[in-house]
Structure 1
Amino acid sequence: MLGPVLPLPQQPGRPPSPGHMIVCGDDALARRLAVELRYVYGERVTLLLPPGRDADSPETPLTQRGRAAALFGRMSAAMNRAGAANGTGGGGGSGGSGGDDTNAGVEAVRIMEAPEPSDDVLEEAGVDRAAALALVYDDDERNIRAALTARRLNPRLRLVIRLYNRKLGQHLEALLDQAAAVAMPGLDPALLDASTTVLSDADTAAPALAATALTGSSKVIQAEGLLLRAAERTPPRTGETTDPGLCTLALLSSTTNNPAGTEGSDSSGDEGPQLLPDRQSVEAAAGRGTVVLEAITRAEPGRPAGRMGGRGAPLAQVFSRRLRWSALGVAASVVGLAVASVWTTHDSVLHSTYLTLLDLLAMGDPAEKGPPARQVIQLLSGLAGLLLLPLLVAAVLEAFGTLRTASSLRRPPRGLSGHVVLLGLGKIGTRVLVRLRELDIPVVVVEEDPEARGIPLARSLHVPTVIGDVTQEGVLEAAKIRRARALLALTSIDTTNLEATLYARSVKPDLKVALRLYDDEFATAVYRTLRTAHPQALTRSRSVSHLAAPAFAVAMMGRQILGAVPVERKVMLFAALEVAGHPQLEGRTVEQAFRAGAWRVLALDATPPADRNPDLAALPPYAPEGGPQPPSGLIWDLHPGYVLRAQDRVVIAATRRGLAELLRRRSTTSPRRQEEPRR
């Protein structure tokens, strides 16, 4: 049964208007995505949540609806305060971008409750009139089932689906797009406007979480088989010069006197980094770290995560040190006996060695008629043979035990240092583990559940793993926390992450720490307290939903997202846009189209429109073996005076509000969206 529509304060009970956005989910990502659509892009939103308590925060007895209402209420109040400070009044628009929505704040948000997104529920939510639908349940099967239903109810609907299984996601995208094309024969595929997009919050957030364990790390964005590397650079010292890169994407809040800067919590109120600064700001920002577009290289097939310790177990791990010394002693005795045989019998070296080995293995004839020296050597060889037998048995047993445990979890080796301690091997922790191993960073994993999702991966990668409750004494010590370079606390329980962080800091005060916290206010308080108590140590608090929501929101707006780069607690987006319909771009030069703090044109797709790759993020088809690689149509060294034309497609770097302004103005001026008849 469909639950009641639960209006927020001062919300009129009206059906959803055409062109609204629907978000269906059961965790924090759904709520943050709805907030992003409403308060960044100014869209009308219908939020469908399951009834009952919030599973994300079992310690706090709040329902999904209660958390969503509180979140929208805080955002509405913040927007009203910002509007009053600017003298413009409150509103739900984005950054002064205008728009056709005259209702502000929570009035444009509709919250519904239902256990499942069934046909009746989606029809009640207005899926037949909606512009886009996001299915972000934490269950892949539920998302797929709802996507098939929604595509049948509205073939024109733009779908954004959250799936952890990446291969299945690729097949699902093709299937749903094909279903839309069959349901609307003769319709221009361009009108579908990115019909189906499959994303993973784990894949979106993992690079940012892994990057917190590094200093001067690089983030990689892929576009048409090319890799864009955005490198974080520390402030140069006096007299030093650094390569400015292709362009400066951001100025960090860190300075030479404060390496940690003001960054930390995703929701802290401190002044953060400056995204897409102009030349004057870059020149005036002495002593601040930067994020620069450093290099562009051709993408290669995915590099698998490397195993720790190589593909096989080394000899030192197969046989113990005591056994190796025993074998060396037996070998030395054999050599000594062979030398003694040569010296006493005046026989050849080869023949003396042969007789010694026969005696050692009890295969030689008794030297009854031989000289006394030969008889003594034979007795000593037999004695050495008796010592060899237990040595061979021990070697077999140790080798068998090593092979038996090779498929089990490894323990942290004694001399390990400079590694990252990773707490939790759920969906997020597993993706972060893969990312760290792709970067060849040594990792030690701590997981309480021996049947956790990422345990088989840790076993296959030979990653040292400690099974135990991290809050229990001795568990972090077993993970060699005293010699670790960083701690990533990524379990789904805030108190567990906090307790592990506090204990690790008590053991090693300068340890670099990144912890995953659910509640925004709690994360801000924890970050500020840890920064005050340990000013020389790097502390970061991260929210997976905060990192992933911008990419999901832009996909719902119907534009192609190439990637999202977190810059401290802010997010910079890379997207591909058609110039047509954007007055901020069309008819302007590249230099004129640049707006500091909003967007910047990075590249131009020179491929003719009819031959363009519809998915710039996908690898182009590789040439036959031995043949030349197909040239890329993207031009990165654009002349500042190049005039952008309507038929051009560009790759831009933009802030969330900057991209929202481009998309909102496009939606309010595009005749296609206003005059297109619905079927």
Structure 2
Amino acid sequence: MIVCGDDALATRLATELHDVYGERVTLLAPPSRSFAAPQPSAAAARLRASALLGRVSAAMNRPDGADGVGSSGQFLLPVQEREAAEPTEEVLREAGAEQAAALALVYEDDETNIRAALAARRLNPRLRLVIRLYNRKLGQHLAQLLDQAALVAMPELESAALDASTTVLSDADTAAPALAATAVAGTSKVVQADGLLLRAVERTPPVRGEVPDPGLCTLALLSSTTNDPAGAEGSDSSGPQSPTLLPDDAAVTVATGRGTVVLEAVSHTGPPLPSRRLAGRGAPLGELFSRRLRWALAGVFAAVLALTVASTLITGDDPLHAVYITLLDVFGIGDPAVGEPTARQLLQLLAGLVGLALLPVLVAASLEAFGAFRGAAALRRPPRGLSGHVVLLGLGKIGTRVLARLRELGIPVVCVEEDPEARGIALARRLRVPVVLGDVTQEGVLEAAKVHRAHALLALTSADTTNLEAALYARSVTPDLRVALRLYDDHFATAVYRTLRAAHPSALTRSRSVSTLAAPAFAGAMMGRQILGAIPVERKVLLFAALEVAEHPRFEGRTVAEAFRPGAWRVIALDTADPAERRPDLAAARSYDSGEHNSGRSGAGLLWDLHPGYVLRSEDRVVLAATRRGLAELLGRRNRPDR
């Protein structure tokens, strides 16, 4: 397998494929000179690459298969590293793209990834492509184009399962739910793969005497609840204090006082709403016209109505004609009431006075409406009495996705961004989210964001030192503030978390590495299109995959209960569609009717909450929840006869 990238995600992905899945990996990265000083995070990732990859050779003689030895006992070659400024067609050919099984393009620049994907598809139509793109719509069109190109080049692929698939992922979309969940306890973790939606919910330990809702199944036992500042989160190693993935019923029963992650709901979603719908169709009336102006307009209207009624009673005119005459007098375009009764002359004078009062009201209304429309295009400032909100630092790729996620959850947000042309400024303006422009390390910027009255702080800028400095300063202002930091290196994130927890034991602290959150999903996609998604559980990751029973002898002829291996994998659903009508990509099977998922008929879709005694047959296709190493054992290509 070939991994091409220029940041920490590429290094982490190569390590994931080698250490967890036991694959032979070639890492293609720019030369050292391309990492300039303005990108300290990329340079740091580059320097750490040798350390991450160097431990492979040191672990070649380990018998446990964790790093240097596969589960079948075969020794694995270390990750090969090549240098290239750009992934051109010639560079990809020299790296072995014509014989490779999968290629990951995880450069930060979308254009670079697209250009390399087109070249790789020409070199090898069978190559499985995993592409990192931030633009979702462009990613959908690109995946269809590349798959169509593979079918045109090799028509025989159409009859069989299309192994040369194209998967487009975004590290921002993968990491955003986990980062947003750190700001609010109990936030749902969602795996959304096209039409399939799986929601996992964190639940706090039940109160004594309370019977918890088990949901469809328990996916994990947490090392601590999200509200426990002294929790043991921060270690990816196995131990009594670390989270337990896919526990059995006995472990769930014994583990009292620990939070759980429960698979709560499965549904099918329609097409995503346009981004404009998030901000509403127009500004409300209260923002166009102030309360005083509305009262002034109401007073003028009441005066005109009173004059009309008086004119009708005095002159005996028709009400409609009286309204017309009164409005002419108000606007000063009626004939003078010379020679008419005194009452009519008095009414005309009063109408003229009302018209004089109406003129400044109309001018004020036009100015306020103009100001409101200008304000809609400008950035909002945090309101004076704002409290209980989330302060979001950084509106880059990650911050923009997290902002959208928080607004979907209905959580008030105040953003802080130094660059007025940042990617997320347009989204914040459209969602009418308050934004403070300035450097978070400068005095007064966090105060302007009302950090002293905030509920949580999410430091998601691209610089680790900026995030750490902002977190430390916010803690000095509000010691019990909930803080979550985005840090590139997972080991550094763990060290920061433990230090902040020790310094502020009464406050909740979380640290997250985007590359660590995203790498398992990218690695799973490189193993095949059957990977539906991934959810983070503290510092571990749980994957969802669709597998054919016939290809895995561990499942065929066994019951659902017998096929369950605690800590490795668990069957959570059965595809009841006829084998001839199944789509290669289960997540894209939108024709399934979720309302018939319990009917058991052909084409009915997915059957959830399976009976433990159901015997799995060779023609069945199942949906699994699996750990990284559990899925690697099931998908390990090194154990196949053709390799």
Task: Using structure 2 for the length normalisation, give the TM-score.
Answer: 0.88
Residue in structure 1 matched with residue 597 of structure 2 by the alignment:
none
Partner SS, residue 301 of structure 1: coil
2:35 paired with 1:35 = no
Post-superposition Cα deviations, 1:277-317, rounded to whole Å, max 9, x if no partner, equal 01111001111111111122232222455767743222221
1:391 and 1:126, CA in 2 relative to 1: closer, same or farther beyond 3 A? same
Residue in structure 2 matched with residue 647 of structure 1 by the alignment:
619
Pairing of 1:597-636 with structure 2 (within 5 A): 597-621=567-591, 631-636=603-608
Pairing of 1:510-589 with structure 2 (within 5 A): 510-589=480-559
Post-superposition Cα deviations, 1:467-519, rounded to whole Å, max 9, x if no partner, equal 33233333333334344333222111112222322333334333322221123
Distance across 1 between alignment mates of 2:196 and 2:102: 29
Contact 1:307 1:460 in 2 (8 A): no
Cα drift, residue 190 of structure 1: 4.1
Contact 2:121 2:127 in 1 (8 A): yes
2:153 paired with 1:173 = no
Distance across 1 between alignment mates of 2:315 and 2:475: 71
Cα drift, residue 600 of structure 1: 0.3
Partner SS, residue 428 of structure 1: helix
Cα drift, residue 436 of structure 1: 2.5
Residue from 193, 202, 208 that aligns with 2:178: 208
Cα root mean square deviation, aligned: 3.5
1:118 and 1:359, CA in 2 relative to 1: closer, same or farther beyond 3 A? closer
Cα drift, residue 567 of structure 1: 1.0
1:24 and 1:234, CA in 2 relative to 1: closer, same or farther beyond 3 A? same
How many pairs does the alignment contain? 635
Contact 1:422 1:444 in 2 (8 A): yes
2:64 paired with 1:92 = no
Identity among equivalent pairs (%): 71
Cα drift, residue 110 of structure 1: 1.1
Distance across 1 between alignment mates of 2:273 and 2:75: 50
1:463 and 1:201, CA in 2 relative to 1: closer, same or farther beyond 3 A? same
What letter is aligned with 1:468? G
Contact 1:306 1:437 in 2 (8 A): no
Cα drift, residue 329 of structure 1: 5.0
Distance across 2 between alignment mates of 1:34 and 1:493: 23
Distance across 2 between alignment mates of 1:245 and 1:38: 35
Residue in structure 2 matched with residue 385 of structure 1 by the alignment:
355
Post-superposition Cα deviations, 1:391-432, rounded to whole Å, max 9, x if no partner, equal 211211221222233333333344544433322222222222
Distance across 1 between alignment mates of 2:159 and 2:273: 33
Structure 1 range deviating more: 529-538 or 348-357: 348-357
2:24 paired with 1:44 = yes
Cα drift, residue 371 of structure 1: 6.8
What letter is aligned with 2:54? G
Distance across 2 between alignment mates of 1:308 and 1:414: 24
Residue in structure 2 matched with residue 662 of structure 1 by the alignment:
634
Task: Using structure 1 for the length normalisation, give the TM-score.
Answer: 0.84
2:249 paired with 1:279 = yes
Residue in structure 1 matched with residue 202 of structure 2 by the alignment:
232
Residue in structure 2 matched with residue 6 of structure 1 by the alignment:
none
Cα drift, residue 29 of structure 1: 0.6
Distance across 1 between alignment mates of 2:430 and 2:356: 40
Contact 1:609 1:647 in 2 (8 A): yes
Partner SS, residue 545 of structure 2: strand
Distance across 2 between alignment mates of 1:508 and 1:236: 30
Distance across 2 between alignment mates of 1:375 and 1:224: 74
Contact 1:51 1:64 in 2 (8 A): no
2:479 paired with 1:509 = yes
Distance across 2 between alignment mates of 1:393 and 1:115: 62
Residue in structure 1 matched with residue 100 of structure 2 by the alignment:
130
1:231 and 1:306, CA in 2 relative to 1: closer, same or farther beyond 3 A? farther
What letter is aligned with 1:235? P
User: Which residues of structure 2 form unaligned runs of 5+?
Assistant: 594-600
Residue in structure 1 matched with residue 598 of structure 2 by the alignment:
none
What letter is aligned with 1:67? R
Residue from 610, 621, 627 that aligns with 1:638: 610
Partner SS, residue 373 of structure 2: helix
Contact 2:392 2:458 in 1 (8 A): yes
Residue in structure 2 matched with residue 459 of structure 1 by the alignment:
429
1:362 and 1:463, CA in 2 relative to 1: closer, same or farther beyond 3 A? same
1:270 and 1:203, CA in 2 relative to 1: closer, same or farther beyond 3 A? farther
Distance across 2 between alignment mates of 1:44 and 1:572: 23
Contact 1:205 1:544 in 2 (8 A): yes
Contact 2:101 2:127 in 1 (8 A): yes
Residue in structure 2 matched with residue 11 of structure 1 by the alignment:
none
Post-superposition Cα deviations, 1:542-570, rounded to whole Å, max 9, x if no partner, equal 11111110011111122511110111111
Pairing of 1:85-484 with structure 2 (within 5 A): 88=63, 92=67, 98-99=71-72, 101-103=74-76, 108-187=78-157, 190=160, 193-222=163-192, 225-255=195-225, 258=228, 261-264=231-234, 271-304=241-274, 310-331=280-301, 358-366=328-336, 378-484=348-454
Distance across 1 between alignment mates of 2:165 and 2:17: 18
1:444 and 1:60, CA in 2 relative to 1: closer, same or farther beyond 3 A? closer
User: Which residues of structure 1 form unaligned runs of 5+?
Assistant: 1-20, 624-628, 675-679
Cα drift, residue 592 of structure 1: 0.9
Distance across 2 between alignment mates of 1:478 and 1:218: 30
1:442 and 1:256, CA in 2 relative to 1: closer, same or farther beyond 3 A? closer
Distance across 2 between alignment mates of 1:631 and 1:324: 59
1:326 and 1:186, CA in 2 relative to 1: closer, same or farther beyond 3 A? closer
Distance across 2 between alignment mates of 1:525 and 1:57: 25
1:654 and 1:203, CA in 2 relative to 1: closer, same or farther beyond 3 A? same
Contact 1:224 1:615 in 2 (8 A): no
Contact 2:229 2:501 in 1 (8 A): no
Contact 1:80 1:90 in 2 (8 A): no
Partner SS, residue 288 of structure 1: coil
1:496 and 1:270, CA in 2 relative to 1: closer, same or farther beyond 3 A? farther
Distance across 2 between alignment mates of 1:266 and 1:347: 90
Post-superposition Cα deviations, 1:247-288, rounded to whole Å, max 9, x if no partner, equal 100011115993662225879999321110011110011111
Cα drift, residue 598 of structure 1: 0.7
What letter is aligned with 2:608? W
Structure 1 range deviating more: 133-142 or 444-453: 444-453
Cα drift, residue 76 of structure 1: 6.2
Cα drift, residue 30 of structure 1: 0.3
Cα drift, residue 42 of structure 1: 1.7
Residue in structure 2 matched with residue 3 of structure 1 by the alignment:
none
Post-superposition Cα deviations, 1:645-676, rounded to whole Å, max 9, x if no partner, equal 23322110001111111122xx24433x33xx
Distance across 1 between alignment mates of 2:543 and 2:187: 18
